[in-house]
Amino acid sequence: MQDFKKLDVWQKSHQLTLTIYKTTAAFPKEEQYGLSSQMRRSSSSIPANIAEGCGRGGTAELRRFLLIALGSASELQYHILLSGDLGILPKSTSEKLETDTIEIKRMLAAFSKKLKTDN
């Protein structure tokens, strides 16, 4: 069992989730149960899956949950793009959030690859 809070990728994804929650609080009311909710779910799924994988018994399980987190990060990346294209997010905000999400995706992929190589 690994302490997920010590992982850089968990820390960055947790910070991104906090930012997404703050950012989506300003979304239009009609998006409360739509785009806002989807972005919150996909962003919080990233650190949640990292944490769950760390609590499982072994490297194979951790890798599986890292890949699930990677899928959630890709979903979030699309929602950020959509929010920007719809004019809900300012371009500078959507670009920053997308850059942060891509960095987390790279970290997840590298961590997964390292775990595979180590076995």
Range of the domain at 41: 4-118
Q: Name the average pLDDT for the chain.
A: 95
Give yes or no for residue 1 having a pLDDT over 80: no
Q: pLDDT confidence of 37, banded at 50, 70, 90?
A: very high
Percent of the chain topping pLDDT 90: 90
| Cβ proximity of 11 and 111 under 8 Å | no
- Can you spell out the DSSP letters for the chain? ---GGG-HHHHHHHHHHHHHHHHHTTS-GGGTTTHHHHHHHHHHHHHHHHHHHHTSSSHHHHHHHHHHHHHHHHHHHHHHHHHHHTTSS-HHHHHHHHHHHHHHHHHHHHHHHHHHHH-
Q: Is the pLDDT of residue 50 over 90?
A: yes
Per-residue pLDDT reduced to its tens digit, 97-107: 999 999 999 99
Position 118 scores a pLDDT of 76
Number of structural domains in the chain: 1
Query: What CATH number corresponds to the domain at position 89?
Result: 1.20.1440.60
